[in-house]
Structure 1
């Protein structure tokens, strides 16, 4: 499996980034994880003359090529960070590359709840019509008090949390296989994909 692992923050020091880095190493025998930084994207704006920023087009290509996507989000004021929302707006407005893509949400926070409200917020966004991602049901990995969750080598310390992450990741690999099989057998009528602005009246 090849997964794109999106760091959902522009913070240079982030336990969500540490979580994805740990997952990349911990699951390297089972899957390849490529970390992606949303902080490298411009803030969302309505483009003119179909001029999609190069970084946005590159992100869309990475999503389309991946078997699935993993998003790690912190929680800011009970919601996802603006930089992550902006990245999703780019995808929604342009390529819609997340449509039918298997997605796993994980999250770390300094508090005890482990970004639970932000994860619920992100699920709602990803379920919107022009994103329409395939979210694995009944799955949450909530890492609370994350500043003390890793040792100096970046390893997740708590054995119970590691076991929980192992189970969720195994389920996500199976979920990815099932969704891929389902979509391959689905009879669809192919249509030329148009950007949103190409279908709007002047």
Structure 2
């Protein structure tokens, strides 16, 4: 493996044991293994977010935060439930912005799979809005959503995408993300100010 290969954390935005979103990330991990090191991270073991007087953050969330901080970028895949992201993903992002800020200025690529034809398009739009919030302030790759529709039929027995057009599109988007990550490494002039603003944000004023 190349020493200077980018390391990405891929967050499975579902608590389903048979998620096609997990299948999508596993495909990306294998398919792009010569371009980047991708580690899948599960959030299904995290407790539902709850504010506390001492701003307690579960160790599992802290562990994910450390992985994100040490990574060059993050890939998040989300299904779509009622035109929105799952509660488990919303809760995980809340933990990852509750007194800790691992996603701040971190390059993020959004992907998603759904059983229907739209490929979690509304959920991805909502996820983009959440990631741009003052508490998270991730650096989301623009106009880059990968929308995998009819995901139950999308993969063959080897876990590869059947649709060659979709595979080619994902190839292009991933190359763009690699470039986006490298450019982002030069765009941290406001990082210290962004960190200060995030730390000053109060969860008690809701």
State whether TM-score is above 0.5.
yes
Deviations 1:43-99 (A, max 9, x none): 101133343211111111111111010000000000000000000011121212111
Report the Cα distance in structure 2 between the residues aligned to 1:42 and 1:105, rounded to whole angstroms. Answer: 23
Contact 2:85–2:126 (Cα < 8 Å) also in 1: yes
Aligned equivalent of 2:110:
105
**1:59 and 2:64 correspond:** yes
**1:39 and 2:79 correspond:** no
Aligned equivalent of 1:88:
93
Q: CA deviation at 1:181?
A: 1.6
Q: CA deviation at 1:119?
A: 0.3
Length-normalised TM-score, structure 2: 0.90
Task: Tell me how large the CA RMSD over aligned residues is.
Answer: 2.1
Aligned equivalent of 2:149:
144
Contact 1:38–1:84 (Cα < 8 Å) also in 2: yes
Q: Which of 12, 15, 24 is the equivalent residue of 1:19?
A: 24
Structure 1 residues 69-78 or 56-65, which shifts more?
56-65
Contact 2:10–2:76 (Cα < 8 Å) also in 1: yes
Where has structure 1 moved over 4 Å in runs of 4 or more?
185-197
Q: Which of 108, 127, 130 is the equivalent residue of 2:132?
A: 127
The total of aligned residue pairs comes to 199
Contact 2:136–2:198 (Cα < 8 Å) also in 1: no
Aligned equivalent of 1:114:
119
Aligned equivalent of 1:79:
84
Contact 1:20–1:35 (Cα < 8 Å) also in 2: yes
Contact 2:115–2:150 (Cα < 8 Å) also in 1: yes
Q: CA deviation at 1:146?
A: 0.6
Q: Which of 161, 167, 185 is the equivalent residue of 2:172?
A: 167
Contact 1:93–1:195 (Cα < 8 Å) also in 2: no
Aligned equivalent of 2:3:
none
Length-normalised TM-score, structure 1: 0.92
| Structure 1: segments with no counterpart, 5+ residues | none
| Structure 2: segments with no counterpart, 5+ residues | 1-5
Three-state SS of the structure 1 residue aligned to 2:11 is strand
